[in-house]
A = this chain, B = another copy of it.
Amino acid sequence: MKIGVIGGGQLGRMLALAGTPLGMNFAFLDPAPDACAASLGEHLRAGYSDQEQLRQLADQVDLVTFEFESVPAETVAFLSQFVPVYPSAEALRIARDRLFEKSMFRDLGIPTPAFADILSQADLDAAVASIGLPAVLKTRTLGYDGKGQKVLRTAQDVVGTFAELGNVPCLLEGFVPFTGEVSLVAVRARDGETRFYPLVHNTHNSGILHLSVASQAHPLQALAEDYVGRVLQQLDYVGVMAFEFFEVDGGLKANEIAPRVHNSGHWTIEGAECSQFENHVRAIAGLPLGSTAKVGESAMLNFIGEVPPVEQVVAIDDCHLHHYGKAFKAGRKVGHATLRCQDMTTLEHKIAQVQALIGN
């Protein structure tokens, strides 16, 4: 079976590393000449709206998936005429737009921060009056890693902010005094079978994920599975989805979903019996799902901007390096390390060792 992937970054690279042992071949559509997944399959170097290349891709693969959610809707619609696309155009449409996403949460009874659709500065002023401050203004589409958003704390922060974010449709979200950020990575097969990985506790630095720690029997696991299950069923979803939550007052408030393999699930390569990448491939290929059980205690640390010297990373016992083969650049995700240990005490010690290499 040959799988087409829209995007050839590290997620595509790790999909190919997981799918190749299943006998899958891969083709990546990515305009970047140095797309880091390219060495693991064919590389169609073209823009995401290049219909000729999209048609070429569709003609040579059995199905198409993607590694980022801001794929143009027209691209997905075009491809869907010729080849199955997983997850579906509808899942992408919802996940790509914070208004649709939050509205779906509300409709499904999943708690989420107060929000308002913002199409003008006047909308923003009215919404701030209603929701209150602090609040966060986010572009409805194309935001990631803390980009395309601004925290509003004072009335002064609100002035001119709609223009500052580019005069594009935005969402104002009430600020949530959360005690933690957790995410649940789930996978749903074509036949509806669904499996969930353990909840992961995430720590961000400057809006970018820094550390994910897989939890042990988290008390909110069942609640999170309930919420995520509602969304998966609503979208008749196929593949891996990540769902980010705020922990608030011993409960969960939905932040956002990612309709794809996700950074907070990278620990599963070594830390789970079957990784999120293999499970995504299995799901879209119509294969039985793999076990989401943990293997030992795991954590993942991102390497942002640069990978520390390889010999220092791999000198740490139980540390697994994932170098993305990308050019180093400030703020760019260029690699990660997974730690897999026998117990939490050892894990915490190893986390500190990796952090010392990063300088965090």
Identify the A interface with B (CB < 8 A).
Answer: 13, 17, 20-23, 25, 39-41, 273-274, 282, 286-288, 290-291, 295-296, 307, 310-311, 314-315, 317-318, 320-323, 325, 335, 340
Closest to A315 in B: B288
**A22 touches which of B273, B288, B314 (Cβ 8 Å):** B314
CB A239 to nearest CB in B, in angstroms, measures 16
Question: For A314, what are the chain B residues with a Cβ–Cβ distance below 8 Å?
Answer: 22, 282, 287-288, 290
User: Which residues on B sit within 8 Å (CB–CB) of A340?
Assistant: 273, 295
Chain B residues, Cβ within 8 Å of A322? 21
* Residue from the list B23, B25, B295, B315 in contact with A295, Cβ < 8 A: B295
Q: Which residues of B contact A21 (CB under 8 A)?
A: 17, 320-323
Residues of chain B within 8 A of A290, CB atoms compared: 314, 317
Please give, as numbers and ranges, the residues of chain B lying within 8 Å of A288 by CB-CB distance. Answer: 311, 314-315
Interface hub of A13, A25, A318, A340 (most chain B Cβ within 10 A)? A318
Within the complex, the shortest CB–CB distance from A286 to chain B, in Å, comes to 8
Partner of A25, one of B39, B282, B315, B335: B39
Chain B residue contacts of A335, Cβ below 8 A: 23
Provide the residues of chain B in CB contact with A321, threshold 8 Å. Answer: 21-23
In the complex, besides A23-B325, A23-B335, 20 extra interface pairs with C-beta distance below 8 angstroms are: A13-B20, A17-B20, A21-B320, A21-B322, A22-B321, A22-B323, A23-B310, A23-B321, A25-B39, A39-B41, A40-B40, A273-B317, A273-B340, A274-B320, A282-B314, A287-B310, A287-B311, A288-B314, A290-B317, A291-B317
Pull 16 A–B residue pairs with CB atoms less than 8 Å apart, ordered by A: A13-B20, A17-B20, A20-B39, A20-B325, A21-B320, A21-B323, A22-B310, A22-B314, A23-B307, A23-B310, A40-B40, A273-B317, A288-B311, A290-B314, A290-B317, A295-B295
